[in-house]
Amino acid sequence: MTTNVAVVLFPDVEELDFAGPYEVFGMFSKWIDKDWSVFTVAEHKQVRGNIGLNVTADYTFDDAPNADVLLVPGGLGTREGADNQALVGYIRRAGAGAQYVTSVCTGAFLLHRAGFLEGKKATTHWGSRDRLQQEPGVTVVAERWVHDGNVVTAAGVSAGIDMALYVLGVMAGPEAARRTQHFIEYDPAPPYAEVPLPA
């Protein structure tokens, strides 16, 4: 039985927010377990990302297969996206039948608008945590990723890779996640120490 991972795209999506998790799930489905399928979904087939990357989505909201894992990235486009009824409606519909509903960065705002963060702990990019905390019904925490019920949210941008590996480990087992991590040679060692930022 196929496990479907649906990656949602929208205008001004942050590229690494979706490409990092896509690589994790995609590498696993290509080389380790072919019963997994990873695909992109958008309102319109052509999507331009925040940095300028042009992407052609595999499916539209009208013809996408059911999702077992729904992944909602962030980016500047989430601000307008929160008022896009087609986008929020798809997230609500697809997430209702998914085993796990996930977000990266400010994708948490779209999950909240779709009703998935009510009564949940969640995280987002450090620069947007205060803004998310102002939304009703959600408890915001400063963590790399947060798992609450069937909702898993990640902090900013690169945190989506960690979150995807975590979800993969929960669903397919830690060894599967370790093998995938080895395949993509994910062993973060940034050349410069991070500058301390305000909490």
- The 3-state DSSP class for residue 119 equals coil
Task: Give me the amino acid identity at 32.
Answer: I
Residues 6+ apart with CB under 8 A from 36: 2, 3, 4, 5, 25, 28, 29, 172
Cα–Cα distance list, 183 to 30, 33, 143, 161, 166 (Å): 11, 13, 26, 13, 15
- Please report the sign of the dihedral spanned by the C-alpha atoms of residue 32, residue 186, residue 73, residue 98: positive
Catalytic residue among 57, 87, 98, 105: 105
Token representation of residue 196: 């301390």
The CATH number of the domain holding residue 130 is 3.40.50.880
Domain that holds residue 84: 3-183
Number of domains the chain contains: 1
Rounded Cα gap, residues 159 and 67, in angstroms: 22
21 belongs to a structural domain:
yes
199 belongs to a structural domain:
no
Task: Give me the amino acid identity at 14.
Answer: E
Q: pTM of the prediction?
A: 0.95
**Hunting for tokens 């450090």 — which residue is that?**
126
Residues 6+ apart with CB under 8 A from 129: 123, 140, 142
194 belongs to a structural domain:
no
**Tens digit of each residue's pLDDT, the chain (199 residues):** 899 999 999 999 999 999 999 999 999 999 999 999 999 999 999 999 999 999 999 999 999 999 999 999 999 999 999 999 999 999 999 999 999 999 999 999 999 999 999 999 999 999 999 999 999 999 999 999 999 999 999 999 999 999 999 999 999 999 999 999 999 999 998 888 777 655 5
192 belongs to a structural domain:
no
55 belongs to a structural domain:
yes
177 belongs to a structural domain:
yes
Residues in the chain: 199
Helix (H) or strand (E) holding 111: helix 107-113
Please say if 105 is a catalytic residue. Answer: yes
Cβ–Cβ under 8 Å, residues 78 and 109? yes
193 belongs to a structural domain:
no
